[in-house]
Amino acid sequence: MASPESKIVVTGAGFSELGEGDVRPFLRTPNLRKLLGPWDRLAVMAAARAIEAANLPLDLGERAGLFMVVGHVPAQKDNMETLMEDSLDENGDFSEALNCRNAYLNFNPIWTFHSLTNSPAFFVSSSFNIQGTYFVTFSEPGQFYLALEECIYALRAGRADMAVVGATVDQDNEMVRFHYRRTLPPLAEEELRSGAGFLILETAEAAAARGAQPHAILEEYSIEYRTHDPLKESFAQEEVFQPAGPCSDAYWGPASLPISIARAGAGTLEHSLRGRDGIHATSRWEVKS
C-alpha cells in the first residue's frame, strides 16, 4: 500500500496545555499515575485527542509507530533546593561528601522518572499500546522535523501503517528557565510555554483504505543544517508561521508545529524555522478542517 512516493496525510491532531484534561482513563494501570510528570500528562492528553480525532481505537498495536521529541529536562526549584540541602561545610563552601550523603537521603525516586527523557514516550506507548517502530529525540524545534522525516521514511517503507508523531515540553520550571537564560541570546521566561501537540500520520493510501478524512496534507518540507560548534557560535531562533497562529508569539519548543497544525483552520499553513541548534527547516501543510 505504501510507496516511496506516497503522499503523507494527517488524519488526526490534538494538543494540550498544562492544567487541563484528565489522563486517567488512558493510563494502562492506575498506579502509573504516581510516576506521571507534567510533560507525560501533556503528551498523553494530546496523543489521546489526536488518536480520537483520527477515529482510531485507543489500542494501536504492532503496526503503529511513535515518533516524538521532548524539550529540555525539567526540574522544579524546590526539588533542586532539596538536593542541595545541608551541603555546605563549616566555611560555607559546597562539600561533595556532605552533598552525596544528604542528597541521597533527600532524593525522591520519583524524580528519576520525571527526568527520564524517554518517559513521555513510555506513557504514550503504554497508554495506547503502541508496539511498533519508534524514534525519540530532543530538544529543539528542528528536531521535530527530524522525527517527522523518520516517520515519513517508516510509513513509505511500510514499517508502520500509522504513526503517532508529536512533541511535549514542560518549560514551567526552574531548570528549563535557567537553560534558556544561559543560551545566547537568552530567552525571557515570559516567552516560555508548556504544551504538547500530536499528529496521526498515514500514507494517503492507508488513510483512504480505512475511509479516514485528512485533517491536513503535508505538501512539502525541507531540512538543512548549519554545521557549528555550539560552544563557540550561537544563533537566535527565528520561527514564522504563515498565517500567524497560537505559537507565533511565544516559545513552545519542538511542540510548536504540531500544536499549530492541530489548531489551524482550513487553508495553507507554512512554517519556517531557523533554530538555535543550526537546523533550518520549512514545511507547507494544506489544512482541510
Partner 1 sequence: MTHRVVITGIGVVLPNGNNPESYRDNLIAGKSGAGPITLFDAGEMPTRIAAEVKWDGPLVAEDRRTTFAIEAARQAYDNANLCGSAPKGDGRLCVGVGLEVFAPADMAKMQRADFELPEELAKRLKFLHMPGDLMPHVVSERFGFRRPPLVMISACASSADAIGSCYREIAHGRQRWMMGGGTDSMVTPLGIIAFSKLCALSTLNESPEKAARPFSRDREGFVMGEGASMLVLERLEDAEARGAEIYGEIVGYGHSLDAFGIAEPHPEGRGALQAMQRALDDGGLHPDQVDVINGHATATRKNDPIESLACKNLLGDRAKEVPICATKSMIGHIIAGSAAAEIVATVVCMNVDMVHPTLNLHDPDPECDLDYVPLVARPHKTTLALCNSFGFGGMNATIAVRKL
Nearer to partner 1, 106 or 248 (CB): 106
DSSP class of residue 172 equals: S
Choose which of 88, 209, 240, 266 interacts with partner 1 (CB under 8 A). Answer: 88
171 counts as binding partner 1 under rule CB under 8 A:
no
Cβ atoms of residues 81 and 106 within 8 Å:
no
Name the minimum Å distance from CB 69 to partner 1. 9
Question: 10 Å Cβ neighbour count for 289?
Answer: 11
Question: 10 Å Cβ neighbour count for 275?
Answer: 22
Among all chains, which residue has been given the C-alpha cell 500544536?
Answer: 259
Binding to partner 1 in span 205-234, by CB under 8 A: 223, 225, 227-234
Nearer to partner 1, 25 or 265 (CB): 25
Picking from 237, 246, 247, 245, the residue whose alpha carbon sits closest to that of residue 281 is 237
Choose which of 132, 197, 214, 258 interacts with partner 1 (CB under 8 A). Answer: 132
Binding to partner 1 in span 181-200, by CB under 8 A: 181-184
Nearer to partner 1, 110 or 244 (CB): 110
Backbone dihedral region for residue 253 (phi beyond 0: left; psi -120 to 50: alpha; all else: beta):
left
Picking from 169, 170, 160, the residue whose alpha carbon sits closest to that of residue 135 is 160
Name the minimum Å distance from CB 230 to partner 1. 5
Exposure b/e, 136-151, CB count within 10 A at least 16 = b: bbbbbbbbbbbbbebb
Nearer to partner 1, 216 or 273 (CB): 273
Binding to partner 1 in span 25-54, by CB under 8 A: 28, 32, 35
Picking from 265, 279, 257, the residue whose alpha carbon sits closest to that of residue 165 is 257
Choose which of 6, 11, 16, 143 interacts with partner 1 (CB under 8 A). Answer: 143
Angle between helices 256-263 and 141-157 in degrees, nearest 10:
70
Nearer to partner 1, 20 or 220 (CB): 220
Binding to partner 1 in span 99-128, by CB under 8 A: 99-101, 103-104, 107-109, 111-113, 115-119, 121-122, 125-126, 128
87 counts as binding partner 1 under rule CB under 8 A:
yes
